[in-house]
Structures are given as C-alpha cells and as structure tokens.
Structure 1
Amino acid sequence: MDIDFFLSSLSKLPLFDKWAWGAVSVAVLAAAGLILFIERRHFAARDKGGSWLSLRLLSLFVLLPVTAGVIVIPSMAISGPEALAYFYLALLILGPLVWFAGHSLCGRLLRPAFSKGESRFMAASGLLILFLPFAAATVAQGPIFLASRGLTESAFQAAPAAALPHATGPVQRFNLPTVGLIYTQSLIAPPGLELERIDRKVGEIWADTATSSRDILCRDQQNVHLMWSAREPTPVLRLYWRLNGQRVQADFSPVTVADSAEPREFTITFRPDGIDPPVPIPRSRASIAYFVGPDRLYFNSLNPLQPGETFANDCIMPGYKRVDSEKEGPPQAVALMFFQSANAPYLRAEIKRPAEPQSNRQP
C-alpha cells in the first residue's frame, strides 16, 4: 500500500469520520487488550505466565510472518488464475494448518510447556485478535457512512440562499438526427469563485451530481455546461459555493421559450487528433469512433479518463484531443446518447466525419 496515498486519503476524511474511526480503533485496541489480559491472568494462575508471553512474542514475530509468507509469496510467484486458486487454498487450508501447527510445536518446546489444547486455544485467540480490526471495520463502515452522509447533507441543506453568481448564457437550440431538438446552456463563473457541489433534482430528491451520472451537465473548472434533449426533463440544479467564508446555495433551471426559428444542425469538426464540438458535451453522453479494420468502426466511450484528465473537469470541449490519436487514427464519428425515461429506450445520434477519398483512410 502507498503510505502517502493512505495518509492523504485519511487527511481528507470529514471530521466526524475521523472521530468515528478513531473510536472504532480505540474499541478494537481495548478488546484486544482485554483478551490478552484475561489470557495472561489465566495462565499466570497456572504458573505459565512466562510461557504465555514467550508464545505470544513467537506468534507475532515468527509464526505470523511465516503464515503470511506461505499464503502470499507463492501466490505472487504464480501467474494466471492458478495464483488466485492457490491464494484461497492457502488462506483457507494451508495458512491455518501452519498457524495451529506452529503454536502446537512452540507450545510443546516452551518450559513450562503448554498442553495441546492450550496451544490450540492460544492459536485461536490469536486469530481472533487478528480478525478483530477487519470485523470491526465491516460492522462499523455502514453506520459511520450513513451518519457522516446525514451530517453532511444537513450542513448543505442548511446553507442560506444567495443570488447565483454565474453569468447565464443563452439557451441554444440544435437539431440532432434520430434525437430531434436538444438544448444547451452555459453558466460562466466569475473569477475567484469555487463551487463546492452541484445537486440535481430528480423527482422529489436532490442528488449530488459528483456521485451520480452527469449526463445533463459537465464542468469546465468552475463553469457549468448543460445539454439536454426536448424529450428529457428540464434540468433543475442547486449550486453551492462559499461567499465571505460562508456556504450558500442557489437554485437554477434553464428557461426555454418557443422559438419559430429553425434550430441549428449539431455539427462537429473532425481533426486528425480530435474533435471540435460546437458546444461543450458531457462526456458520459459521448462515444468516439475510429477504424479498427477496413470500413469497421469501433466506438469507444469517452467516460474513461485520458492521462491528464479529471472528472472535476469532465466536458468534451472544443479542441478535445485524443492522447492515443497516432495509434487510433483520426476519429471517424461521435455518438451522443439521450435518455427519455426509465421505461423508454435511449436515443442515439451519430455525427460522422465527412467522407474522404478511400486512399486517405488510415486503418
């Protein structure tokens, strides 16, 4: 495990989570200490306190590394599915055999010696102590997550309302084949603004867009870009940011008005190494296609990030470039998907690169 990554992740936990997991850790240490204390009293009453301490030290510094080595080292040396098969075999059979046999052997060699039953008891209690942290984490994870989420949601919901600081661009209308009319709009943030969160209203529920599919919006730094079809519900958003050190919120929903003018065709400019859409596109809507054989296109979702990209800035902007463009070849098409409702099929539109002479195609 990367210790720097672990410490960085730990430092980013909310304060409640840190205290909660700290309490769980203290409880685990207290339980382990209680088990060891009761064990020592039990064996000290039988004049085996020194043997108990020796076996516990041998368990920690000899038997535990040997058992872990039997499980891990061969599974790392083996490749393929056999490695996983060996790992589970060693974890469930070989590891426990080595652990219990080692305790029996060491217990017999100590003076005063342990009986076979006492050695097995020590081995079992040692396993219990080893599994305590995992069991506690499994049991506590759900309640801590729910409690932390509840506190976080309460803090956001309690934020006072304020005027939306973004400059709202005009609602633009485009026509897409097989989809029909779509709308786009951009919210441009003023310098220095930092959005904390964007919620989207789905039915009567407000959902954090950072933890759900962002098909109707994307972010470019602190700017927010919307794209939705006439067959989809108009987005209803709630934006949170800091104003003079205090968290505030503002609701926003685009206003579409009837327009007798024909919508523009949604056209994309194709470059050898990428594309230039007319407006920012949420990456979860888009796939890009390139040739994988003569006249055979492969559509690759743009949801996976390229090197240097982040989900915090997840728009397909004008100037979008494919990192592996030399390997993939020039993009040949872009597919956009729109979701009408849970019970209706999604709509898919393809915008293709203008036809080129056959000799100019790259396989």
Structure 2
Amino acid sequence: MLLSSATRSLNPQSFPSLSFSHSLSLPLPQPFVPNPSKSSRFPSLQINCIDAAQPFDYESHLKNRYIQSTSLKIAIVGFGNFGQFLSKTFLRHHHTILAHSRTNYTGLANQLGISFYSDPNDLFEQHPDVLLFSTSILSTETILQKLPFQRLRRNTLFVDVLSVKEFPRNLFLKYLPQDFDILCTHPMFGPESGKTSWAGLPFVYDKVRIGDEESRVKRCDKFLGIFENEGCRMVEMSCMEHDKYAAGSQFVTHTMGRLLEKFELESSPINTKGYETLLNLVENTKGDSFDLYYGLFMYNQNALEQLERLDMAFESIKKDLFGRLHQVYRKRLFGDNGEVEKKTRFPQKLLGLCNGSLIEPPLDNARQDGS
C-alpha cells in the first residue's frame, strides 16, 4: 500500500500488525509558473511503503475445519476417577469436554482444559451433543430424576458407562423423553488395566434407541469411533446378554479379588507366575470401591446365582479333600483288617471330621486291655 502526504509522515508504530515499513523523502519538481520570482517551493513529499502481508496457513485452516466437523461436545455427569480417566482420551481426540459432579473438581478440570459446572442447569444450557453418565450404580436413579432435561436439545444422545447394563437401560427408558437417543456401553477396563493402552480391551455397547436421521446416526458412530480408534475390541450385544456374561466374569473376578484381599495375600521371594497373577488380581480390584462391588451384586440379577455357585464349588473342594483324608487316616489306623471295626468306628470319625476336628472315638474295653 502506498501512502503520500505533503505535511507529515505516517507513523508505523500506530499499526503494530504491520510487518515492516520503508520511508523515502523526495523533493517535488518545480512547477512552471509565469512569475518564478514570486513562487515558493512546495514542502517535500514523504512516501511510506508498508508491507501488510497477513499470515495464512491454508493447511492449518483445513485441519481446524476438519477437527470442528468431527468433534463432539461431551458432557460428563459424574467426574470421579473413571470420568476423569475417559476425559483424558476424549481430549486427545479433540473433543470438547464439559463436566458436572457433586464434588467440586473445578481445579482439576481447569488443569485438564475442561469446563466444570457445579449446577447441572448451567451444564445443560451448553447444549452438549452427548451426555455421558459415569456415576456410581447406586446413585444413578437419584441423579437422573433431578436433571433438567428441558434445557437440552431434544435429540441429545445419552450414554452410560456403568458396569451393569439392564439397570441403566431401564432407567433411561423410564425417565428420558422419547426424542433422546440412548446408547448403553461398558468399557470393560479401568484406570489400572487401561492406563497404558486400550488396544485389544473389550468395549461392549447396545444401541438401545438411535434416531433414523443421518446426523444422529453419525453422532453415535463418532462416539463409538473414539474407542475403536484406540484399538478396543468392539462387541455389540444386548444389555441382557452383557449382564449374563458379566456376572460370570466381572462379578466373579471382583469376588475372588476381594476374597484374596481379605485373606491378606502377600508377595514372597519365591513367587510363581500363578501366584503373581493372584497378586495382580488383588491389586486391580482393591482400588475399586465397595459400592461398585455391591452394585455389581445388587443390580445384576445373575450375580446371586454366581455367588451361590462359588460357595458350592468351595464346599465341593473341601469335601474332596476331607474324603481323601478320611481314607488315608483309616488305612493308617486299621490297615486292611478289622472290617467290623471299620464299620463301627469310621462313621464316628467321619462325623468328627465333618464337625471340623479329628475326634478319636474311645476304644472299647477289650482294645484298652490289649486283648
């Protein structure tokens, strides 16, 4: 841009966005006048040449547009350990994260680059694309009943990540308006088992209610794509099937981990690989709250059956051990003879063993006399 002034020069400092400037002063040529003796020289003309090139990176512009078109605004309700764990990966995929919890996590959220809202009304007025439930199983219904759904867009996608599936599914169908989409999911890993990588870890999901509109289908796929891109093993199954399988895997795993923790399993200088596996099991389960374990038991109708089967299996092993012990003990006492004595004395010994102690029945008088 070329500027000229007959009276003053242009101050480049008044334009801080300009990159550089060049200044050139030239005298104007003498004009032709009829009477040169009465003419005066014009003031000098100063010309400033300013380069105002603006930075523009077309590739960055395209990248930003792509990120905006593929990103989701995800609001997490329940910003505890698991909610924080998931949010870090969501952020890495360039999604906008909002959070709400009964505990004030404002400081932590600010460190992560997450907007925290203590009031759910303020959170819902941000109109998130996805509302992610990461609450405890026990508090889910209470929290769900208090949420101001009227402040959300009518087609908001509701997602849960609870460890049981039929329970939140039924709650969502009961309390959510018909226009809301429902996706029930269970990342079958946690902050411990998924701290290094999610590759190969199972992610179970059930598209309970997703609208037919292309935008709603794509939104659901974008959310699932986060876990797929992290390398999770994506497993689509009904909530009923999930709870059936989870009772036989997750609940039993937590039960054995808590049992061994109560047993006070400790490391030793001669640990075997199998023993190390048991120690790792205790380490992975002891970090979870008892409320989680109780929720797995209370809100999965298959859990009680698995607990009873565990109890029966333990009793069966005890009977096998004591049965073998009875045979060995009988042979040491009586050898291969004394069939009559076996018939009369062994039931008494068996009764003593079953009561928890080895009680030696009294010998008859003939045996005491040595005859």
Alignment TM-score, normalising by the size of structure 2:
0.21
Which structure is richer in relative contact order (CA contacts within 8 A, separation 6 or more)? 1
Which structure's residues are more often helix, by fraction? Answer: 2
Alignment TM-score, normalising by the size of structure 1:
0.21
In terms of Rg, which structure is larger?
A: 2
